[in-house]
Amino acid sequence: MSFKLRISVAVIAVSAALPVYAQSVTITTAGGDYGKAMQEAMWAPAAKELGYDVREETQSDGFAALKMQVTSGAVTTDIIHLGSPEGAQAAAQSLLEPLDGNIIDLNAVPAGARSDYCYPFDSYGTVMSWNTKTYGTNPPKTWAEFWDVGKFPGRRALRSNAQDLIEIALLSDGVAPADVYSVLSTPEGLQRAIKRLEAIKPSVAVWWTSGAQSAQLLKDAEADLVVTWNGRAQTVKADGGMVDYSFKGSVIGTDCLAVPKGAPNKEAAMKLIAAMTQPARVAKLTDFIAYGPVNPAAYKAGLIPDERLKTLATAPENAGTSVFSNPDWWLKNGEAAQKAFDEMMSR
């Protein structure tokens, strides 16, 4: 091969390897059905609109991945998907860039959910679900009844984590939804919740560690009463499982999107967050998974079919008896609560 020819071959090879320049952004999601839903409804159409080249990474534990990347100085992701309590914690540990209010409309979400670091986009309820074969049309209707193992015998499955459970424990003890965090903020409040959990411990067959596991326990009838996330219960029910669930007394949490400190494409990340959380897109998310929008605008203008509203934790008719999970309380007391929970488990 002549020298000239060799050069031209090399030039062709190089230009073929370099695509036309496009802003690239990396997003880290939880993967699975949830990650796929976010892709289809939210970031893929937004990326198309902005002309971005978006790459997805998946992590079941977003916070641990975030902390690893930021503390080791090797940040590869531009957008990370977190639970709001983790978002608050990450912000407190300076792991996140402040969101740019000029790009993202931070005030589009209700005041209680607002955050300067992690933009809440969807919500889920931690709900009571049960096996319809065991309880027929007479399942426990309140958390107090869930705790009543005499009246409702059966194997329980609860998440092996204090989050949402200590709120539920207080509800079962007669605390009103509006008072849960004020009771928890007293010195005896946390102990009262832990004691309540300890009381039900002998009837807990499984302490589950992942949402998928809780769905499997429901599906296999390994447990009769399962505290799980509404999206999981709904999926099992829709698949024809002998399962039902109720939003009564649910604990509502939100998931959010953040930009890690030192992300390589900060500004593009902010723009993508703004575009992927437009009301029509977060409304579209409910086509794929039963996690409702946080932005009230998404509920207007008939973006979500009425039939589906029943399956969303934040739909107006479901939110009445619920407790909104409080990220600030968890930021301040999370470690103490988890420790007390673990100590209860080891007793």
Q: Give the one residue of 23, 58, 132, 161 binding other proteins; rule: CB under 8 A.
A: 161
Using CB under 8 A, which residues numbered 41 to 70 contact other proteins? 61, 63-64, 67
Q: Are 57 and 77 in contact (CB under 8 A)?
A: yes
Structure tokens at 186: 């007293």
Closer to other proteins by CB, 223 or 283: give it: 223
- Note whether 345 binds other proteins by CB under 8 A: yes
- Note whether 135 binds other proteins by CB under 8 A: no
Structure tokens at 80: 């990370």
Structure tokens at 342: 């673990």
User: What mask of x and - would describe binding to other proteins in positions 227 to 266, judged by CB under 8 A?
Assistant: ----------------------------------------
Containing H/E element for 340? Answer: helix 327-346
Structure tokens at 210: 């992942």
Closer to other proteins by CB, 68 or 280: give it: 68
Kindly indicate which of the ranges 11-19, 122-130, 273-281, 331-339 contains the residues binding other proteins, using the contact rule CB under 8 A.
331-339
Backbone angles phi, psi at 262, to 5 degrees: 80, 20
Q: What angle do CA 70, 102, 65 make, to 5 degrees?
A: 20
Q: Are 256 and 118 in contact (CB under 8 A)?
A: yes
Closer to other proteins by CB, 222 or 244: give it: 222
Using CB under 8 A, which residues numbered 278 to 317 contact other proteins? none
Structure tokens at 3: 């020298």
Closer to other proteins by CB, 75 or 274: give it: 75
Residue 260 vs residues 93, 172, 272, 294: alpha-carbon distances, Å: 11, 38, 14, 22
- Note whether 72 binds other proteins by CB under 8 A: no
Residue in this structure with the two tokens 């977190």, named with its chain if needed:
82
Structure tokens at 99: 């969101």
Nearest-approach distance from CB 290 to other proteins, in angstroms: 25
User: What residues line the site for other proteins (CB under 8 A)?
Assistant: 61, 63-64, 67, 89, 155, 160-161, 205-209, 220-222, 335, 338-339, 342-343, 345-346
